[in-house]
């Protein structure tokens, strides 16, 4: 019965080698395999892409133009698809009004509650909406913060007016506004501002009363620099140019709104209370506390609203986000937190028969919280949907109805179905995942000794409770603790007090032309290889030259940027993604054209390109487990974990001076068997005299630490204390989540 499963025949997207598989519907299916084996190519680029494409086809053409374009997968047949919802770790929107409360709809129900119950009684629920003129604070338009001039950045006190003391564009000598200040005879043009009187500086900035006290009074129309700046830049309804916006960023800062103090609502709505609390107070409570409070509201006419609100709050707590407040701006959430918020949102939806695709839901989660996340996935399944999860954590695999392993290797060595069955069967399977599952990494018995220490004293950032720790230098330190316990906050303190090099998971480059070739700087060497072999100019092989495909300008793909959705790419039809004109592609080295070189993986290139300089430069990518990356692959397609490893590779290449490195969950996206590679790289950094501090949940990494700092015990205000500092081997017999997970 085809409709009981998603049937795939002959899938060839990216590295998939004509893969056939039947994925059961209405089940929790976990996709495993080494990094680069083809899991994403199957789940995202084949299943999600085909479902997205077919769904788009059902819309009329004018609507279709506004939908994300999907590149159709290379596959002979797919059947049994339903609409796909992808839940990934991409951060939730950059809109300042988006909060945990608004994206989970909890805020909607809280508003309803206030409109029905609050004293004084207010009526309509949009009175409690900060996006609605009826409810928003008039001073900040519902943003909770206001943009104010950063006056301290306006002036360079060591310069005179003549020398350009006013840093704002247009205010220096020769600038449009200059004469308004310099030529009126009120201000001294040649004396550095530091030597002016306080009043004179006040007058320059603000005019008005301060100016009236000066010997040479300015003309009546004189407008202080600050007033003028604010009139031109801030209090204008014009669409501001890119340059003006940059000026605003440079010379302003955001302050909490002086009227609503961040509550975002107008006076009437702000002061109305339920159970003695305002809506602002409730939105700043931790979700768990708020749930307790809402629990005490028993009025019958609001029972459905209370039930809906309670369900959202409970889902957030279950998924390990009970420490957040509804008022928290989504822009400040981590990738893992963003993903879990999206899950809460979908749990509240009443759509059934959907296919949810979830990318590594355990990222950012302590082992003690993984169970609850799997439970949520099971709930989604039990409501009648199909759940496809890409995951490396055995604790999630253990809950799968079925496991699909793609492999056996990465890139060209992968792309095949190597296992399909239950977790129990996988444990005995002779596949990379099966073998890795039966391997056990013991606790480090011979930890390195620190060469010194980096002290953090009395840290109180976010939830930290006067934390003082000594982080040893010259060793591998792991920071552990449940999500929200304060690991990132402590790491931020470490960075603020000592210079540390933060190797994070943010994009390596947003430039689509950035590839392993450009990033490692081997492009000139490759061009030279072709040029010398054929006695032609090296420039011919550059993507910015006449040799490049004229239609895609040497990109190989055409991008559509959509104002309100993610941009999408399709392969260039002219060059079929080969980026160069046929004339250029005629030239070969070792049988490879310049386009073929793009198609080589790092590992293949090391074998096939006869150039020591190239091999040395890209060898570090292989060292960090990225040997499967294709040389021409746009770095903007990399996952967060891959970006982080690319950056580690760069450090391996560059650094000799002892440096402190801070990494947040470097195992993200790594197969169990790749964790060993990562540990070797971290050990390599330490052995060269560097200090490495990692925030990590992966127990294999925790066991290999020289030094452990465990924070907790709980999230938010239930955490923020140091539970343990010392060797991992000595951490035993304690009831803390990390200690329990280590002995399990």
Residue nearer to ligand ADP on the CB measure, 71 or 553 = 71
The C-alpha atoms of residue 482 and residue 199 are separated, in whole angstroms, by 54
The C-alpha atoms of residue 552 and residue 214 are separated, in whole angstroms, by 63
What are the start-end ranges of the H helices in 230-320?
A: 242-251, 267-271, 279-284, 287-295, 303-318
Could you tell me the smallest distance in angstroms from the CB atom of residue 588 to Zn ion? 20
Position among 302, 388, 572, 626 found at the interface with Zn ion (CB under 5 A): 572
Could you tell me the smallest distance in angstroms from the CB atom of residue 53 to ligand ADP? 16
Q: Does 548 bind Zn ion (CB under 5 A)?
A: no
Position among 287, 549, 672, 699 found at the interface with Zn ion (CB under 5 A): 549
Q: Does 51 bind Zn ion (CB under 5 A)?
A: no
Residue nearer to ligand ADP on the CB measure, 135 or 408 = 408
Q: Does 137 bind Zn ion (CB under 5 A)?
A: yes
The C-alpha atoms of residue 350 and residue 105 are separated, in whole angstroms, by 14
Q: Does 136 bind Zn ion (CB under 5 A)?
A: no
Which partner, Zn ion, ligand ADP, none, binds residue 463 by CB below 5 to 8 Å per kind? ligand ADP
Check: CB of residue 164 under 8 Å from CB of residue 135: no
Residue nearer to Zn ion on the CB measure, 583 or 730 = 583
Which partner, Zn ion, ligand ADP, none, binds residue 483 by CB below 5 to 8 Å per kind? ligand ADP
**For strand 252-256 and strand 145-149, is the pairing parallel, antiparallel, or unpaired?**
antiparallel
Residue nearer to ligand ADP on the CB measure, 332 or 349 = 332
Position among 92, 257, 321, 478 found at the interface with Zn ion (CB under 5 A): 257
Residue nearer to ligand ADP on the CB measure, 180 or 462 = 462
Q: Does 545 bind Zn ion (CB under 5 A)?
A: no
Residue nearer to Zn ion on the CB measure, 594 or 646 = 594
Which partner, Zn ion, ligand ADP, none, binds residue 575 by CB below 5 to 8 Å per kind? Zn ion
Q: Does 543 bind Zn ion (CB under 5 A)?
A: no
Which residues are 405's β-sheet partners?
32, 419
Which partner, Zn ion, ligand ADP, none, binds residue 273 by CB below 5 to 8 Å per kind? none
Only segment of 501-509, 549-557, 560-568, 697-705 that touches Zn ion (CB under 5 A): 549-557
Position among 47, 226, 575, 692 found at the interface with Zn ion (CB under 5 A): 575
Residue nearer to ligand ADP on the CB measure, 281 or 378 = 281
Contacts of 515 (CB under 8 A, 6+ apart): 598, 631, 632, 633, 634, 635
CA triple 512-516-522, angle to 5 deg: 115
Contacts 24+ apart (CB under 8 A), 563-566: 565/66, 565/67, 565/68, 566/68
Determine the distance from the C-alpha atom of residue 299 to the mean position of all C-alpha atoms in its chain, rounded to a whole number. 42
Q: Which of residues 479-508 bind Zn ion (CB under 5 A)?
A: none
Q: Does 139 bind Zn ion (CB under 5 A)?
A: yes
> Residue 13: phi, psi to the nearest 5?
-65, 135
Q: Does 552 bind Zn ion (CB under 5 A)?
A: yes
**CA distance between the termini of the chain:** 42
With residue 430 as reference, give the H or E element that holds it: none
Q: Does 551 bind Zn ion (CB under 5 A)?
A: yes
Residue numbers of the site for ligand ADP (CB under 6 A)?
A: 14-15, 33, 35-41, 323-324, 332, 410-411, 462-463, 481, 483-489, 628-630, 633, 637, 715-716
Check: CB of residue 471 under 8 Å from CB of residue 453: yes
Which partner, Zn ion, ligand ADP, none, binds residue 233 by CB below 5 to 8 Å per kind? none
Which partner, Zn ion, ligand ADP, none, binds residue 633 by CB below 5 to 8 Å per kind? ligand ADP
DSSP letter string, 584-638: HHT--BTTB-HHHHHHSBHHHHHHH---HHHHHHHHHHHHTT-TTSBTT--GGG-
Q: What letters, b where the CB count within 10 A reaches 16 and e where it falls short, cover 291-310?
A: bebbeebeeeebeebbebbb
Could you tell me the smallest distance in angstroms from the CB atom of residue 116 to Zn ion? 24
Q: Residue 622 to residues 16, 607, 619, 632, 646: CA-CA distances in angstroms?
A: 21, 12, 5, 15, 10
Determine the distance from the C-alpha atom of residue 73 to the mean position of all C-alpha atoms in its chain, rounded to a whole number. 26
Q: Does 294 bind Zn ion (CB under 5 A)?
A: no
Could you tell me the smallest distance in angstroms from the CB atom of residue 227 to ligand ADP? 33
Q: Does 574 bind Zn ion (CB under 5 A)?
A: yes
Only segment of 61-69, 153-161, 244-252, 253-261 that touches Zn ion (CB under 5 A): 253-261
Only segment of 81-89, 132-140, 248-256, 729-737 that touches Zn ion (CB under 5 A): 132-140
Which partner, ligand ADP, Zn ion, none, binds residue 574 by CB below 5 to 8 Å per kind? Zn ion
Residue nearer to Zn ion on the CB measure, 126 or 163 = 126
Q: Residue 97 to residues 101, 140, 438: CA-CA distances in angstroms?
A: 10, 11, 48
> 249: closest CA among 257, 261, 240, 258?
240
Q: Does 158 bind Zn ion (CB under 5 A)?
A: no
Q: Does 259 bind Zn ion (CB under 5 A)?
A: yes
> 638: closest CA among 504, 501, 502, 509?
509
Residue nearer to ligand ADP on the CB measure, 34 or 204 = 34
**Torsion angle of alpha carbons 35, 37, 41, 44, nearest 10°?**
-50
Which partner, Zn ion, ligand ADP, none, binds residue 139 by CB below 5 to 8 Å per kind? Zn ion
Residue nearer to ligand ADP on the CB measure, 224 or 715 = 715
Token pair for residue 739? 């200690």
Would you tell me which residues interact with Zn ion (CB under 5 A)? 137, 139-140, 257, 259-260, 549, 551-552, 572, 574-575
């Amino acid at each position: 019965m085809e409709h009981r499963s998603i049937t795939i025949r002959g899938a060839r997207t990216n590295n998939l080698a004509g893969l056939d598989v039947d994925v059961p519907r209405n089940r929790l299916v976990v996709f495993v395999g080494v990094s680069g084996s083809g899991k994403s190519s199957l789940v995202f680029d084949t299943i999600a892409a085909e479902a997205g494409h077919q769904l788009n086809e059902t819309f009329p053409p004018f609507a279709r133009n506004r939908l994300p374009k999907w590149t159709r997968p290379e596959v002979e047949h797919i059947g049994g698809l339903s609409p796909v919802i992808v839940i990934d770790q991409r951060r939730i929107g950059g809109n300042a009004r988006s909060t945990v409360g608004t994206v989970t709809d909890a805020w909607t129900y809280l508003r309803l509650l206030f409109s029905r119950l609050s004293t004084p009684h207010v009526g309509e629920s949009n009175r409690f909406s900060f996006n609605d003129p009826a409810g928003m604070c008039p001073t900040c338009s519902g943003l909770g913060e206001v943009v104010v001039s950063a006056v301290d950045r306006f002036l360079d006190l060591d310069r005179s007016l003549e020398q350009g003391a006013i840093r704002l564009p247009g205010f220096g000598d020769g600038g449009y506004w200059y004469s308004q200040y310099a030529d009126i005879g009120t201000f001294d043009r040649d004396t550095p501002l530091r030597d002016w009187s306080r009043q004179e500086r006040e007058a320059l900035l603000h005019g008005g009363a301060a100016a009236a006290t000066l010997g040479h009074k300015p003309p009546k129309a004189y407008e202080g620099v600050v007033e003028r700046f604010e009139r031109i830049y801030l209090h204008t309804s014009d669409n501001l140019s890119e340059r003006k916006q940059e000026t605003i960023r440079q010379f302003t800062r955001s302050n909490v709104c002086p009227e609503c103090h961040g509550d975002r609502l107008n006076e009437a709505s702000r002061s109305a209370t339920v159970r003695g609390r305002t809506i602002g107070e409730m939105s700043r409570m931790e979700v768990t506390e708020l749930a307790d409070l809402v629990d005490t509201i028993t009025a019958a006419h609001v029972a459905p609203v209370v039930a809906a609100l309670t369900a959202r709050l409970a889902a957030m707590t279950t998924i390990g986000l009970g420490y957040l407040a509804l008022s928290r701006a989504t822009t400040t959430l981590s990738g893992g937190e963003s993903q879990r918020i999206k899950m809460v949102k979908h749990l509240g939806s009443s759509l059934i028969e959907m296919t949810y695709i979830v990318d590594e839901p355990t990222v950012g989660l302590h082992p003690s919280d993984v169970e609850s996340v799997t439970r949520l996935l099971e709930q989604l399944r039990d409501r009648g949907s199909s759940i496809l999860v890409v995951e490396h954590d055995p604790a999630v695999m253990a809950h799968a109805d079925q496991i699909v392993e793609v492999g056996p290797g990465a890139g060209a060595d992968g792309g095949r179905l190597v296992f399909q069955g239950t977790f129990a069967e996988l444990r005995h399977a002779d596949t990379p995942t099966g073998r890795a599952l039966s391997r056990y990494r013991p606790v480090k018995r011979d930890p390195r000794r620190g060469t010194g220490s980096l002290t953090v004293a009395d840290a109180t950032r976010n939830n930290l409770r006067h934390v003082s720790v000594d982080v040893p230098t010259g060793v591998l330190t792991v920071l552990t603790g449940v999500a929200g316990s304060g690991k990132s906050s402590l790491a931020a303190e470490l960075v603020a007090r000592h210079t540390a090099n933060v190797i994070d998971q943010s994009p390596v480059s947003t430039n689509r032309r950035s590839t392993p070739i450009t990033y490692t700087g081997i492009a000139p060497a490759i061009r030279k290889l072709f040029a010398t072999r054929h006695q032609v100019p090296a420039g011919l092989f550059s993507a910015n030259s006449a040799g490049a495909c004229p239609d895609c300008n040497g990109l190989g793909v055409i991008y559509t940027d959509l104002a309100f959705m993610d941009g999408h790419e399709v392969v260039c039809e002219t060059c079929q993604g080969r980026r160069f004109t046929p004339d250029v592609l005629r030239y070969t080295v070792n049988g490879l054209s310049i386009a073929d070189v793009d198609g080589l993986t790092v590992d293949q290139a090391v074998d096939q390109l006869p150039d020591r300089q190239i091999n040395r430069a890209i060898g570090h990518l292989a060292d960090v487990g990225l040997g499967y990356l294709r040389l021409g692959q746009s770095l903007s397609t990399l996952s967060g974990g891959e970006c982080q490893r690319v950056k580690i590779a760069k450090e391996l290449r560059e650094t000799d001076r002892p440096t402190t490195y801070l990494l947040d969950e470097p195992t993200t996206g790594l197969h169990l068997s790749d964790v060993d590679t990562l540990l070797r790289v971290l050990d390599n950094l330490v052995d060269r005299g560097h200090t490495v501090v990692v925030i990590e949940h992966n127990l294999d990494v925790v066991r290999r630490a020289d030094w452990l700092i465990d924070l907790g015990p709980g999230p938010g205000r239930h955490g923020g204390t140091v539970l343990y500092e010392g060797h991992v081997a000595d951490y035993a017999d304690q009831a803390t989540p990390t200690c329990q997970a280590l002995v399990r």
